Each structure stands twice: as C-alpha cells, then as structure tokens.
Chains A and B, each alone.
Chain A
C-alpha cells in the first residue's frame, strides 16, 4: 500500500497552489476602470444637466444620483448587473449603483415571499445597516458641530 505522506504544512501549500489565485493587481485594475467609468459618465451627465439644461448644482447632483440608481436597479432586475459585478468587483460595489443593486437584487429575489415580508423587508438587508450607521455617524457629527457652533 502506498501512503501519501504529506505534513499539514505541505498540504496547506498544495491547497494554496491549486486554489485559483485572485490576482489583486488585475482586480484593482478592473475596479479602477469600471468604477472610474461610472464616475466619469456621471460627471459628463452632470455637466450636461448643469450647463445645457441650466439646472442648479444641487438638483443636478440629485438627478445624477437618481438616474444612476434607476439604471443600476433595472440592470439588476435584468440580471446584467451581477454579471458586470463578477468582472468589475469593487468597481460596481463602491459607486452609488452598488447601493441600488443591494436593494433591487433582494427585492426581485424575495418576491416569492410576498411583497411585505419578502420584497419590503429583504430590500433593506444591506441598505438598512448602511442607513442605520450612516444616520448614527451623521448624528454624532451633528452633535459635535452643534456644540462647536455654540462655543
């Protein structure tokens, strides 16, 4: 009988060798270009709204975000966003489109559990924590700012 004798250290090395290497450099490159493109496209759209439709800066900013959110949600529903996400990595997670995706994706997926506890509740699986801790941080910022303004 032939026994394969490998120490646990050797085994770990073998595992590391055979598992697919996620090349951080290429991942970063993909994230840079895809994320950059989203932001660049947003900037062009913003420029168009502000200068050609003469919409105020704040409203234009809101419109840009809302448009990106709607596009990302529709792409999510069509199943395209998850395919993009596999390639782009953080490039599609970090922009505001990733936030929209995190809401639209469970909304569609949990449709079968009903519109109240399925869609309505699961929609906030990721967006909920984001809003909770975002509001918490903003309240802390507000308290400090308020005290600062009274001194």
Chain B
C-alpha cells in the first residue's frame, strides 16, 4: 500500500517535472503542453509502452494527461478487437467518455454556481 503510494507519487511527480521543464525551457503554453502530453500518451499507448508503466505506477501513470492519451489508444484497440474497423471511430471517445462528460458537467455546474473573480 505505502509502496504503491510511493510509486504513484514518484512517477506522477516525474511526469509533471517533464512538463515543468517544457514550460520553462521552451515557453510552450499550457494548452500546447496538454495537447502534447495527450498525443504522446496515445502514441506510447499505441505501441504498447505505456501499459507496463501503468501496471507499475498505477495512478501515477493514469492521473497525468499521458494517461488520458493511453486510455484513448487502449479504447481503440479494444473496440477493434470487439467490433472490427468501426472501432477506429468509436474506441477513443468511448473509453474517455466518462472523463470528458465529468469535466463538461463539472464545468457547467461551476458556471451556474460560481461568479467570475475580477482579475487583478
């Protein structure tokens, strides 16, 4: 348990360090970092490198955004196995539907409940 926590902590932390170095060294905006990390995770998931990393690091691998990309790749593969070529279109969003819907609904909820803060 404590070992699982440490693995997740260190692996997740290291992925964030990669993002921090990219921000500081390349002046990439955070939007580009998000896109880059999801695409990278999807490619790594596609070639089968990310899966063993997930098995090792648990939430340390799935919580950072490459984990979201990995989920897309995993979903596509599973859907192709189950229902053939149509899985190319349905797999990615199917596997990530829960996360995307949660973010949409949570965002909407916030828009209803909270008032914008005036920026200093």
> What residues of chain A have their CB less than 8 Å away from a CB belonging to chain B?
22, 24, 27-28, 30-40, 42-47, 61-62, 64-66, 68-70, 72-74, 76-79, 89-91, 93-96, 98-100, 102-104, 107-109, 111-112, 115, 119, 123, 125-127, 129-131, 133-135, 137-146, 149
Contact = CB atoms under 8 A, between A and B. Distances in A.
Contacts of A129: 31, 34-35
Given A98-B34, A143-B88, A149 B64 contact: no
A133 B33 CA distance: 12
- 6 tightest CB-CB pairs across the interface, nearest first? A39-B12, A35-B16, A36-B13, A138-B92, A141-B46, A73-B106
A79 to B, nearest CB: 5
Nearest to B30: A93
Contact of A39 (B64, B103, B104): B64
Contact of A66 (B98, B107, B116): B98
A39 B80 contact: no
Contacts of A32: 13-14, 16-17, 20
Contacts of A130: 34-35, 38, 65, 68
Interface residues of B, number: 80
A131 B19 contact: no
Given A73-B106, A123-B107, A35 B23 contact: no
A94 B107 contact: no
B88 A139 contact: yes
B20 A104 contact: no
A95 B64 contact: yes
Contact of B25 (A24, A38, A144): A24
A90 B63 contact: no
Contacts of A144: 46
26 contacts: A22-B24, A27-B20, A35-B12, A36-B13, A38-B63, A40-B8, A42-B8, A66-B102, A90-B19, A94-B37, A96-B67, A99-B34, A99-B65, A102-B30, A108-B110, A108-B114, A123-B104, A126-B34, A127-B103, A129-B31, A129-B34, A134-B39, A137-B43, A142-B79, A142-B87, A149-B81
